[in-house]
Structure 1
């Protein structure tokens, strides 16, 4: 099966009241872990490439890893997505490089500038039959070059106007999630009333949640046990994310949880086997930790098991 665009994936997810997991990739082991989880669970999956991952690994290397993954199991629907594209030029290069979807993130811009930039990307992408995600509102937190000290929740009426004027195919909305590992100081809260209103005004339209890692405390503890200093990390409860998946959210992004699983596993192995220096010795269990994390997300957050 070749790469699949989100259109078919999201139509099925919307109708079935589940979400497709979009998992950020940086290297071979992460790609393998995600793909083996998707294969085991018979679930569609999106491999997300951030600007930082693209700089670190190189777009050609990442696409060749995806090619290898498709050769290993061609039965699983797979998309490749640019996460938080900062410019028209980067979106264009990813579109021309074979990505099945791109996100242009103009959420930091004034409203009209966000519209103009998003429409420019959408017009180019649609000429190449590529899907475009955009963002309206701001998520607090830090993820690579994306930083905000405050939440700006998505205005439902503005969302309707934005989608109509830009032609974007899906929209990332701000309802209380945030980037990074430190999402909530107090009790976790998501604005489900706002999400319900947006979904009602954009019926049948796929929404996206960014900043949706749950930051499992067992992995925080494991990381810290072996020398980490990940204090006070707190994510979005998984039952809240599962609820959102039944309210028009067709794509849920996960990055921090994969980083935690990978790093905690490596820290533990190196601490317990100080004589080992072969990268394969610690990257093998790290890859398995990624796979286990993604299996868990597919089953308990996305609800996409058996939907391939």
Structure 2
């Protein structure tokens, strides 16, 4: 089965009031764990690659791993570029076999963001690739994305409508209070659902995206800390809030931090309890299983997208 775009996925998700998980991948074990979970749950799936992942694993290796996942699983999979910061990286991914790209011009002035996004949309659409844009800035740190709390801005609903109309972008990442990384809230978790509902009303039927939406599952934080980690005070987005977002037009929810936590917690535990072990297969096998189980949990309890193929 070839790669697919997210267009049909999002149409079904919007109608069914659920979200599709977009999981960041960096190596074979992460891809295997995610894909095995999606296959068992019969869930739609987006695998996404950041610029950092392309530098780490190499574009060609990642493409071949995803091709292997397609052949082995038989699942319809969308391969997406996460946080493409300029036209060149988006073009490279379009030309290099991705079925979806995100151009992140959120740090630019409004008019410059529109110009960059439209340039990517024009190039990608001519080649059958869909595009995600971003309006508003999330706080936090993830790979090359580093935004301080004072520089974070929520998405303006009126600007969102203008942005979509002028760029022709296929989906829009919005800022309503989520943030990148494991430290999302200092106090009580809160998302601006009133703002989300307004954007949804003004863009009826249009797929919205939430970045920075890992829930930072306590079991993995505990394991990391028990075996030498320094994650005191880590706090993610409550699952109930993400479920609610899926009913209000959010069709794609990005998950990266929870994958890192699941893998790291498992490896830390294995090496601490098997100090003489130096075989990577022995500590990566349970790490892969930890990712699989975490993704299954997300599909069932956060995304509500089991049995949606």
Length-normalised TM-score, structure 2:
0.99
C-alpha distance in structure 1 between counterparts of 2:70 and 2:173, whole Å:
27
Contact kept, 8 Å, 1:139 with 1:178, in 2: the verdict is yes
Residue 55 of structure 1: aligned partner:
55
The residue number in structure 2 matching 1:88 is 87
Mapped partners of 2:147, 2:209: distance in 1: 18
Cα distance, 1:230 vs structure 2: 1.3
Q: How do residues 179-218 of structure 1 correspond to structure 2 at under 5 angstroms?
A: 179-218=180-219
- Offset at residue 43 of structure 1 (A): 0.4
Q: Deviation at 1:124?
A: 0.3
8 Å Cα contact 1:106/1:117 also seen in 2: yes
Q: Deviations over 1:44-72 (max 9, x none)?
A: 11001000001000110001001111111
Offset of residue 4 of structure 1: 1.1
1:194-243 Cα shifts (integer Å, max 9, x gaps): 00000000000000000000001111010010011112111000110010
Residue 131 (1) aligns with residue 130 (2): yes
Once the two structures are TM-superposed, the CA of residue 251 in structure 1 deviates from its matched residue by: 0.2
**CA–CA distance in structure 2, aligned partners of residues 242 and 254 of structure 1:** 14
Structure 2 residues without counterparts, runs of 5 or longer? none
**1:5-48 superposed Cα distances (whole Å, 9 cap, x missing partner):** 00010000000000000000000000000000000000011001
- Write the deviation string for residues 144-197 of structure 1: whole angstroms up to 9, x where unpaired: 111111320000000000001111110000000000000000000000000000
SS in 1 for 2:97: coil
For the 8 Å contact 1:6–1:131, the answer to whether it is kept is yes
Q: How many residues align?
A: 307
Residue 99 of structure 2 aligns with which residue? Answer: 100
Deviation at 1:99, TM superposition (A): 0.4
Partner of 1:293: 294
Q: 2:211 matched to 1:220?
A: no
Residue 180 of structure 2 aligns to a residue whose secondary structure is: coil
Contact 1:214 1:257 in 2 (8 A): yes
8 Å contact from structure 1 (residues 215, 235) kept in 2: yes
